[in-house]
Amino acid sequence: IAGITQAPTSQILAAGRRMTLRCTQDMRHNAMYWYRQDLGLGLRLIHYSNTAGTTGKGEVPDGYSVSRANTDDFPLTLASAVPSQTSVYFCASSVTLQGEAFFGQGTRLTVV
Amino acid sequence: RKEVEQDPGPFNVPEGATVAFNCTYSNSASQSFFWYRQDCRKEPKLLMSVYSSGNEDGRFTAQLNRASQYISLLIRDSKLSDSATYLCVGGRDDKIIFGKGTRLHILP
Tell me the mean pLDDT in the region A42-53. 93
- For residue A41, the model assigns a pLDDT of 86
Tell me the mean pLDDT in the region B18-42. 90
Q: Are A31 and A99 in contact (CB under 8 A)?
A: yes
Q: Are strands A107-111 and A10-13 parallel, antiparallel or unpaired?
A: parallel
Q: How far apart are CA B46 and CA A103, in angstroms?
A: 9
**Chain A residues with beta carbon closer than 8 angstroms to that of B89:** 101
Inspect the interface and report whether the beta carbons of B43 and A99 lie closer than 8 Å: no
The CA distances from residue A36 to A28, A42, A96, B38, B48, in Å, are 23, 8, 20, 14, 23
| A58 shares contact with chain B (CB less than 8 Å) | yes
CB-side exposure of A65: number of CA atoms within 13 Å? 7
Q: How does pLDDT run across A78-99, given as a tens digit for each residue?
A: 999 999 999 999 999 999 877 8
- For residue A1, the model assigns a pLDDT of 53
Inspect the interface and report whether the beta carbons of B101 and A100 lie closer than 8 Å: no
Nearest CA in chain A to B99: A42
Q: How does pLDDT run across B50-102, given as a tens digit for each residue?
A: 988 889 999 999 999 999 999 999 999 999 999 999 999 987 767 788 999 99
- In A56-80, which positions are buried (b, 16+ CB within 10 angstroms) versus exposed (e)? eebebbeebebebeebbebbbebee
Inspect the interface and report whether the beta carbons of A48 and B92 lie closer than 8 Å: no
| B101 shares contact with chain A (CB less than 8 Å) | yes
The CA distances from residue B55 to A24, B19, B48, B75, in Å, are 32, 16, 9, 12
| A62 shares contact with chain B (CB less than 8 Å) | no
pLDDT of A63 > 70? The answer is yes
Instruction: Sort A91 into a burial class: Cβ within 10 Å, 0-12 / 13-18 / 19+.
Output: buried
